[in-house]
Structure 1
Amino acid sequence: MQSVFSHRHVIAADIRTQISTGRIKAGERLPSEAQLASHYTVSTATLRSALAVLQGEGLVEKIHGKGNFVRYPLGRITYVGGGRSTKAASAAESALRVSVRTTNLQAHGQLIGLLRVSANSPLTEYFCLSDDGTSPHSLARIYVPHDLSPANLPEESPCFNCIEARLAELRPPLAEVRERVTARPPTPEEAATLRISSALAVLSITRVAADNTGRVVEAALLVLPGDRADAFFTTHHMPEEKRKSG
Structure 2
Amino acid sequence: MIRAVPSRRNSIADDLRRQITAGDLKPGERLPSEAQLAAHYTVSTPTLRNALALLQGEGLLEKIHGSGNFVRHPRRRTTYTGGRPSAWTTPSVPLRSTVHARHLRAHGPLTTLLNVAPGTSLTEVLCITHEDRTPHSLSRIYIPRHLMPANLLAPADIATHLTELRPPLAEVRETARSRLPTHEEANTLRISASLAVLSITRVAIDTTGRVVEAALLIYPGDRADALFITQYPTEEKTPRS
Shared fold (TM-score, shorter chain, > 0.5): yes
Asked if the contact 1:201/1:225 (under 8 Å) is kept, the reply is yes
2:24 corresponds to: 23
**Pairing of 1:76-155 with structure 2 (within 5 A):** 76-82=77-83, 83-88=87-92, 95-153=94-152
Are 1:202 and 2:203 an aligned pair?
no
CA separation of 1:54 and 1:167: change in aligned 2, threshold 3 A? farther
C-alpha RMSD of matched pairs (Å)? 2.3
Q: Where do 5+ consecutive residues of structure 2 fail to align?
A: 237-241
Deviation at 1:224, TM superposition (A): 1.0
- Aligned: 1:174 with 2:174: no
* Residues 191-230 of structure 1: pairs in structure 2 closer than 5 A: 191-230=186-225
Q: Does the aligned pair in 1 maintain the 2:152–2:158 contact within 8 Å?
A: no
Letter in 1 for 2:24: R
For 1:201, the aligned partner's letter is A
**Structure 1 runs (4+) greater than 4 angstroms displaced:** none
Aligned residue pairs: how many? 230
Partner-residue secondary structure (3-state), 2:140: strand
TM-score w.r.t. the length of structure 1 is 0.85
Distance across 2 between alignment mates of 1:170 and 1:148: 11
Q: Deviations over 1:15-41 (max 9, x none)?
A: 222222332222221111000001111
Aligned-pair identity (%): 59
Match of 1:238 in 2: 233
Corresponding residue for 2:70?
Answer: 69
Once residues 69 and 143 of structure 2 are traced to their aligned partners in structure 1, the CA distance between those partners, rounded to angstroms, is: 38
- Distance of 1:4 and 1:120 partners within structure 2: 58
Q: CA deviation at 1:104?
A: 0.4
Structure with the greater alpha carbon radius of gyration: 2
